[in-house]
Chain A
């Protein structure tokens, strides 16, 4: 079990005339909470989409847990062990909260048509296990009592938690969260922070995109800063806060 969980380097991505990512690299150690920040349009979500297989990079090397993985298809990435949430919350609206999380178990389970129709012992056991684990995760993120509520009727904050629970259901090695605090008020952010600390204490490795600097500084072990698709700083939160390039990027300054 190596120390380095995610080792990515040399990522380039171009969209027509726009060079969205230039030679971006990131190195996350097991058990870390790693932050990715930068002004709007810096390429944070693009980078996320690349490492989780939604976009094909023009170049880059990708290693998870010492093994190279090919970010060619999102479902393969999930299987390899990276689970993500989305900036714009992408839940399965018509399903209940419990069912949403149960879908998260799909990648670690295997019953197919035969099991569905005949419900033999192994199939029933797997289904019960899926259901139990899903309820467990809902309880873990704090919305256990909403298990049977239709996902689209949950409050915004609860939907964010649900998305995290669903991602956790895939038993990921790396949990990648895209702006989980977006649109939240101070109380909700506090609750989210508690949840993230809880996740960290379980030993999970987390990669986090966020705008809320206070949240990031208090939570992250290390941070990478992107601007215009390039990495302009990397290090401890305290270092990042004082880095002139970072300050200039956020507040505007001479380039």
Chain B
């Protein structure tokens, strides 16, 4: 019986109170942090996106037990989709198409219209998000399909390979047709616009968003959007976990042979895990692209895949609150360290002895190694069922037999 619990099934009242408290804290946070400048909220904005990624990966790794080392590919898919359909990039694509394949290019350009030829496509967030989710889900199934018969470590390396392949394509799909603009990435990605209000603030407002008469910094506006999305992700993944599908995933994780013998079509269920996990990655990616305003391949490397995995592993594989904790620790902490540790070192020693980047990497590496050696279930694993220590168990058996 723990004090801090979000376990709605076994301790519903306490869980609800904790959730309400946490929500209140989260809502209050940006107003409090705004006094110290925008950077703190910005850190949490990105952390929230990474938490979404961790929750998505948790479906694949945590529920279904499939070690996906290429998960960041879906983040990339969502981001590049936004880059392509909510920025001037499509114009560049049409231009390269016309240049290299004139007949086809001219026809397509005429089809899309002169406006798009000049300015590119600019879909609204209401179109981009479902599109990102869908396309990412499709990629999830595609990348998962060859891995279905593979054993754990091979599956990991193959998914890693896929992640790398996607990254290489993103880095090179600039000629002959300019899909991704190569290593330079795509700039001028549209910010998110909800009900006519741009979350980056209108031009000249110094990144201030006005809702009604009330103004807040752009990073705060994004904060609430991402917080909402995070909560939705937690809600959806939690519902998935406690369902027939969620049980099927855990069955496959625990013993695939037995799962098959019990009638679970493991191929389809695994593909569903990949797809669902990927779709969250895609949505997070779309948000990322819009938030940053640019998309470039260096945000989607193996390092990032491993970072997200580290969040899941550190927090508590399969346990949603644990994964959120892991996400908070590993996404926010390094940034916070950077803001604190470097100036502290200069103040104390007069120079930067250890760079923040080194600290960040060390943190990730240590997290993975130490957790596996010392506490493999994670910092905050699932509370076990009604388990009592052996002595009490034995007593109970006696009583029941009597």
Contacts and interface: CB of A to CB of B under 8 A. Distances in A.
Tell me, yes or no, whether A and B come into direct contact in the complex with CB atoms closer than 8 A. yes
Interface of A: 52-54, 73-75, 77-79, 83-84, 86, 90-96, 99, 102-109, 111-113, 115-117, 119, 123, 126-127, 130, 145, 148-150, 153, 155, 166-167, 169-170
Contact of A95 (B239, B247, B397): B247
Contacts of A83: 261-262
A111 B247 CA distance: 12
Given A84-B261, A90-B255, A145-B400, A127 B386 contact: no
Contact of B263 (A106, A123, A153): A106
Contact of B254 (A79, A94, A111): A94
25 contacts: A74-B257, A75-B260, A75-B264, A75-B265, A75-B266, A78-B260, A79-B263, A90-B258, A91-B255, A99-B247, A102-B244, A103-B248, A104-B262, A106-B247, A106-B264, A107-B262, A113-B245, A117-B239, A127-B244, A148-B385, A149-B386, A150-B384, A150-B387, A155-B397, A167-B262
Given A117-B240, A149-B387, A112 B245 contact: yes
A95 B251 contact: yes
B20 interface: no
A141 B239 CA distance: 30
Interface of B: 236, 239-240, 243-248, 250-251, 254-255, 257-266, 272, 276, 382, 384-387, 393, 397, 400
Contacts of A169: 262
Contacts of A74: 257, 260-261
Contact of A149 (B250, B258, B385): B385
Nearest to B254: A92
A91 B259 CA distance: 9
Given A73-B260, A166-B262, A115 B243 contact: yes
Given A93-B254, A93-B255, 12 more contacts: A53-B260, A54-B261, A75-B260, A75-B261, A90-B258, A99-B247, A111-B243, A113-B245, A113-B272, A117-B239, A149-B387, A170-B262
A112 B249 CA distance: 12
Contacts of B272: 113
Contacts of B260: 53-54, 73-75, 78
A54 B257 CA distance: 8
A166 B262 CA distance: 8
Contacts of A167: 262
B258 A91 contact: yes
A54 B248 CA distance: 19
B231 to A, nearest CB: 14
Contacts of A155: 397
Residue from the set A54, A73, A117, A150 with the largest chain B CB neighbour count within 10 Å: A117
> B245, B262, B272: which has the most chain A beta carbons within 10 Å?
B262
Contacts of B255: 90-93
Contacts of B265: 75
Which of B243, B245, B255, B385 is packed against the most chain A CB atoms within 10 Å?
A: B385
A104 B244 CA distance: 10
A79 B263 CA distance: 6
Nearest to A119: B239
A113 B275 CA distance: 11
Nearest to B260: A74
Q: Which of B258, B397, B400 has the most CB of A within 10 A?
A: B258
- Which 9 A/B pairs are nearest by Cβ-Cβ distance? A107-B263, A116-B243, A78-B263, A74-B260, A90-B258, A92-B254, A148-B386, A96-B385, A150-B385
B264 A107 contact: yes
A94 B248 contact: no
A12 to B, nearest CB: 23
A220 to B, nearest CB: 23
A95 B255 CA distance: 11
Given A92-B255, A95-B254, A106-B248, A113 B261 contact: no
A130 B242 CA distance: 13
Nearest to A112: B245
Given A96-B385, A107-B264, A90 B257 contact: yes
A91 B251 CA distance: 9
Nearest to A130: B244
Contacts of A94: 250, 254, 382
Given A74-B257, A166-B262, A106 B244 contact: yes
